[in-house]
Each structure stands twice: as structure tokens, then as C-alpha cells.
């Protein structure tokens, strides 16, 4: 009798998996506007986003700076609670299963670096300020925007070329503390349905080992060390650029899409408690002053600080406490003697 029940349960599990998989197929999507797709919508602009996601923050800052009103559609990710990005509802918006998605008049626009340009081009005068028309300034803005972007299928490769690609590696410590609040059962959906399985696997490993176990995970530490080394170079270049043109912004007098793209990078380094390492105690004063100016803009409060979730607050507190109490961990994360 027991065998029959086990067989029935197994068959039910397999049947559920096959049924769900046929409805929750994920596949990467090309960037830009998809005019062939029209989604149900109520407002001209709608944004599917997550409170913690770097690229979502970039869109929120951008829309706040452009003064574009939008309908907010918050989507949970595993690290903030659950795999809502793999729900059937969200996969009908983005079969890629990632945020952010900007929706304009019902048409989805994918990839955050394309979304900010798309929005700026439709925002009149303010859009032209953020994305200047004169070719020289525009090329400069595009170059600095690109360096801060997350482009292509390999978010942890290309750290030497893009500061944006250093972010996943430098987020590992805060991921390690945030995922402690997420039950193991929630990881299953990612492993079963996401086309990119490395992410749920890595997050599960971080949950298993915890923040104090991170230094004992050589593949993850190698990514972190490489990201930290390359981020140092990107921040040196940023400091030089700000000094060269006299600031206050990357393109000089005018705040632009380049600054929209960099505020979220610096903010993530603060969340992951790397700001002291990168620009504390008189290191990189131009970057430190730039960071102070960025936080004074109303878009920073509207798009970032006011939207921080509970898991992030707790994760930051736990990370700071762990580094304070465990000198080996601190040394490993900050690359000092004894690592």
C-alpha cells in the first residue's frame, strides 16, 4: 500500500512539474521596444521593478529625473522574498523572467540601458538635458552609461570593461545575509524553471554557508576579488573624469543618464558595505564628494531610500555586525593582510 502511495505522489510531482514547465518557459529577450507585443495596461508608462534590483533602481531614478509619472508594478525576486518574477503573470510581461520592464502604451521595453534611453527620447526638454544632443557630450554620456551597464548573457564576465559587471560579485556579501530570511522551499522554483540556474544555485549556496562561510567558497571569492580589483580601476577613472571636467556631474555642469547609471552603482557599494573600502578615509575624494551630491537629489530619496525593503535593512545590519565580529571575514572581503 505504501509503495502505491509513493508512486502516486511521484507521478503527481512529475505531472505538476511538466505542466508548470510548459507554462513557465523562460528565455532571454532582446533589448529595446517590442511593438509586436501589447500588454494589458492602464497608464502610458508602467514599470515592473524590484526594490533591491540595481537595474530597477536605475529606471526609478531615471523616471524621477525625467518627471515621468508611471504606474508602479513591484515584483518580488528571491532575495527580497519570493520568485514572483517566475510567476505566470510576470512571464507574460517578460519571458526572460527579469526586471525591470518598462511598458510604454502597452509595449514592453527590455534591458535597462535601452529603457533609460527610450524614456529620455520621449520626455521632451528634460529628456534632451539627460541625453544631450551635441555629439561630443552625447558620446561621453553614452560611454559612461555603457560602463555602468549590465549587458549580455554573462553578468559576472567583463568586469574589466564594465563597472556594472563588477556589481554581482560585490553584491555577494549582502546576498549572503539577505537570503538567510528566505525559506529553502522558495529556491526550488528558480532551480526548476529559470533558464539561468547559476543564480539560484549560488544563492542557495550562500544560504547554506552563511556570511561567515563566504570566505570558504573559492569560486565565489575569486569572482568577488576580481570584481573588487576592477571596480577600483573604474572608480579611479570616475574620479579622474570628475576632476578633469570640474564636475559636479560626469558630463560637467549637466546631470545626465551617465549619473543616473552611476548613482545606483555607488548605492549598491554602500548597501554591501564597501564604501569605506572604496572611498572612505580620504581615498578617492572626488568620488566621495560626487556620492554626497548624488544623495542630495530628490530622485535619490524618491527612487531609492524610500523603497528599501525589510530584508535589505536586516541584511545590511547583519552584514555590518558579521564584519565587526569576525576579523577574518572582514579581511577576506576587503582584501587586507591575512586574506
Residues of this chain that interact with ligand GSH (CB under 6 A) are: 53-55, 77, 85, 97-100, 111-113, 150, 155, 190, 194, 196, 199
| Closest distance to ligand GSH from the beta carbon of 266 (Å) | 16
Peptide linkage before 329 cis (omega within 30 of 0) = no
**Judged by CB, which is closer to ligand GSH: 50, or 177?**
50
Judged by CB, which is closer to ligand GSH: 307, or 323? 307
Beta carbon of residue 260, minimum distance to ligand GSH (angstroms, whole number): 13
The secondary structure of the chain in percent helix, strand, coil, rounded to multiples of 5, reads 65, 5, 30
Residue closer to ligand GSH, measured from CB, 111 or 318: 111
Ordered DSSP codes for 213-229: HGGG-HHHHHHHHHHHH
According to DSSP, the residues that pair with 306 across neighbouring strands are none
Closest CB 131 distance from ligand GSH, rounded Å: 17
CB of 168 to ligand GSH, least distance (A): 8
Q: Which is nearer to ligand GSH, 33 or 289 (CB)?
A: 33
Instruction: Give whichever of 242 and 311 is closer to ligand GSH, judged by the CB atom.
Output: 311
Cell of 103: 511598458
Least Å from the CB of residue 283 to ligand GSH: 27
User: Cis omega before residue 231 (within 30°)?
Assistant: no
**Residue 44 or 146 with smaller CB distance to ligand GSH:** 146
Question: Within the chain, how many helices (H) and strands (E) appear?
Answer: 16, 5
Q: Number of C-alpha atoms within 13 angstroms, CB side, residue 236?
A: 7
CB of 164 to ligand GSH, least distance (A): 8
Q: Point out the residue whose Cβ comes nearest to ligand GSH.
A: 98
Question: In sequence order, what are the residues at sequence separation of 6 or more whose Cβ sits closer than 8 angstroms to the Cβ of residue 9?
Answer: none
Rounded CA gap, 333 and 339, in Å? 8
Amino acid at each position: 500500500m505504501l509503495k502505491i502511495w509513493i508512486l502516486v505522489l511521484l507521478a503527481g510531482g512529475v505531472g505538476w512539474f511538466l505542466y508548470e514547465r510548459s507554462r513557465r518557459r523562460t528565455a532571454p529577450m532582446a533589448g529595446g521596444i517590442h511593438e509586436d507585443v501589447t500588454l494589458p495596461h492602464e497608464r502610458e508608462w508602467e514599470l515592473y521593478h524590484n526594490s533591491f534590483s540595481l537595474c530597477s533602481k536605475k529606471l526609478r531614478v531615471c523616471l524621477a529625473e525625467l518627471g515621468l509619472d508611471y504606474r508602479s508594478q513591484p515584483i518580488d525576486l528571491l532575495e527580497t522574498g519570493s520568485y514572483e518574477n517566475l510567476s505566470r503573470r510576470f512571464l507574460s510581461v517578460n519571458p526572460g523572467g527579469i526586471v525591470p520592464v518598462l511598458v510604454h502604451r502597452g509595449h514592453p521595453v527590455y534591458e535597462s540601458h535601452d529603457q533609460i534611453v527610450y524614456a529620455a527620447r520621449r520626455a521632451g526638454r528634460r529628456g534632451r538635458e539627460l541625453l544631450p544632443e551635441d555629439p561630443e557630450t552625447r558620446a561621453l554620456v553614452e560611454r559612461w552609461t555603457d560602463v555602468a551597464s549590465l549587458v549580455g548573457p554573462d553578468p559576472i564576465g567583463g568586469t574589466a570593461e564594465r563597472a556594472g559587471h563588477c556589481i554581482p560579485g560585490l553584491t555577494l556579501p549582502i546576498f549572503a545575509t539577505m537570503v538567510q530570511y528566505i525559506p529553502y522551499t522558495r529556491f526550488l522554483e528558480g532551480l526548476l524553471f529559470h533558464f539561468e540556474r547559476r543564480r539560484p544555485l549560488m544563492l542557495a549556496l550562500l544560504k547554506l554557508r552563511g556570511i561567515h562561510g563566504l570566505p570558504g567558497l573559492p569560486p565565489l571569492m575569486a569572482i568577488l576579488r576580481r570584481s573588487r580589483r576592477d571596480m577600483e580601476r573604474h572608480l579611479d577613472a570616475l574620479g579622474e573624469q570628475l576632476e578633469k571636467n570640474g564636475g559636479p556631474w560626469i558630463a560637467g555642469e549637466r546631470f545626465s543618464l551617465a549619473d543616473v547609471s552611476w548613482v545606483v552603482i555607488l548605492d549598491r557599494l554602500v548597501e554591501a558595505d564597501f564604501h569605506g573600502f572604496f572611498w572612505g578615509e580620504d581615498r578617492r575624494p572626488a568620488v566621495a564628494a560626487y556620492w554626497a551630491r548624488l544623495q542630495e537629489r530628490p530622485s535619490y530619496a524618491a527612487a531609492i531610500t524610500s523603497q528599501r525593503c525589510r530584508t535589505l535593512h536586516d541584511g545590511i545590519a547583519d552584514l555590518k555586525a558579521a564584519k565587526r565580529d569576525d576579523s577574518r571575514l572582514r579581511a577576506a572581503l576587503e582584501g587586507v593582510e591575512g586574506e
